[in-house]
């Protein structure tokens, strides 16, 4: 079954191929580009109060939407290059976090759980 994420990965793959950019899309380069885009997303929120961040004006929301798209595209491209099923990895991580952060013990708490035993 093809997901919308698979379709996006294929479109990004083709985008890079058409421009002969695969040579630049190494895991290191993609991870660095992803980090840069996350930084640009964070910069949109840097000096906002929590209330301002929760109620963005249309102009700021447009910039945030654009940065979220950049982050998503680089993340999906990196996962594709590495052969990682991003949705499967996300679900597996959520299952791990459900075990680590039992709702009855962590509800309303920001404390960190101890590492899982190997």
pLDDT beneath 70, residues of the chain = 118
Determine the pLDDT at residue 1: 73
What span, in angstroms and rounded, lies between the C-alpha atoms of 69 and 115?
A: 32
77 near 9, Cβ under 8 Å? yes
Alpha-helical runs (H) found in the chain:
4-18, 27-45, 50-54, 58-82, 86-100, 103-106
37 near 67, Cβ under 8 Å? yes
Q: Does domain 4-104 have CATH number 1.10.287.1080?
A: yes
Determine the pLDDT at residue 116: 73
pLDDT tens, 30-60? 999 999 999 999 999 999 999 999 999 999 9
Determine the pLDDT at residue 78: 98
């Amino acid at each position: 079954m093809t997901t919308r994420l698979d379709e996006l990965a294929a479109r990004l793959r083709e985008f890079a191929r058409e421009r002969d950019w695969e040579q630049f899309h190494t895991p290191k380069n993609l991870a660095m580009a992803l980090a840069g885009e996350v930084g640009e997303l964070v910069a949109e929120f840097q000096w906002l109060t929590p209330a301002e961040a929760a109620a963005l004006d249309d102009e700021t929301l447009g910039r945030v939407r654009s940065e979220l798209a950049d982050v998503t595209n680089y993340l999906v491209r990196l996962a594709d290059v590495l052969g990682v099923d991003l949705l499967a990895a996300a679900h597996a991580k959520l299952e791990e976090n459900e075990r680590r952060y039992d709702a009855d013990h962590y509800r309303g708490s920001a404390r960190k759980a101890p590492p899982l035993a190997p």
